Amino acid sequence: MNVTLSLQAAGGSDVGLVRRRNEDAIYLGQNLFAIADGLGGHIAGDVASTTAINALSSHDQLVDPATLATTLGRAVRAANDALSQRIKAEPGLAGMGTTLVAMLRSGGTAVLANVGDSRAYLLRSSTREVGKTSQITEDHTYEHLIADAGTVPNLPERLSRFIDGRPDGRSPDITTWHLSPGDRFLLCSDGLSTYVEHHLIHAALSAGGTPSQAVDHLINSAIDHGAPDNVTVIVLDVREAESA
């Protein structure tokens, strides 16, 4: 008897308590899942995130697990190129940009790509009892580029890497994960991670229930903590399916 894995996914987004428009964009497909967070304070953040997600979504396809990393890397480059083309067509959009976190899955393997400070977390079934939810992406902020950042006065909390249509320095971090039954992944914009502490994120993920219930719990927690930013989350559960 062969054991195969399936994914159950849910996602949601909320404008938050201060912003007038939602500059996050979300994609839940068959094999590809992604969140883009348009840069706050920049022109047309909503255009940037939507343009990136639309370009990325065309790469939602079942591929050989050995080609997952190259396929997702190509998809992120396509998203960046799409911003470049949009800016060329509409010069008034120059300066727009977005973060991105995405997962592409095939069989028992998944690849994550991230640019900026949108994050991915993983709760493995083997570690739920000991309270272990891990952040599995690294924020691309200046504090992560400077040794002893905590001792540097007035260090700006700015992104060091994001997608804005330019070719230099916009490459994503790409990591490969071998899936196990019971794994629960979280993709989110910083509207969640900035305002909800890690232990509360873990509590929402480990509480059981469906991905949809976890999504609602996480978004409500961000709102309850006064999140002024847009909040977008995707929760993905890895399930075991048996077939003869």
Q: What is the mean pLDDT of residues 114-129?
A: 84
| Domain residue spans of the chain | 5-146+157-240
Q: Is the pLDDT of residue 3 over 80?
A: no
Buried b / exposed e along 127-157 (16+ C-beta atoms within 10 A): ebeeeebeeebebbbeeeeeeeeeeeeeeee
CATH 3.10.20.30 for domain 5-146+157-240, yes or no, is no
Query: Cα–Cα distance between 170 and 161 in angstroms, integer?
Result: 6
Q: What is the mean pLDDT of residues 140-160?
A: 58
Q: What is the pLDDT of residues 151-210, one digit of tens each?
A: 444 444 577 889 999 987 678 999 999 999 999 999 999 999 999 999 999 999 999 899
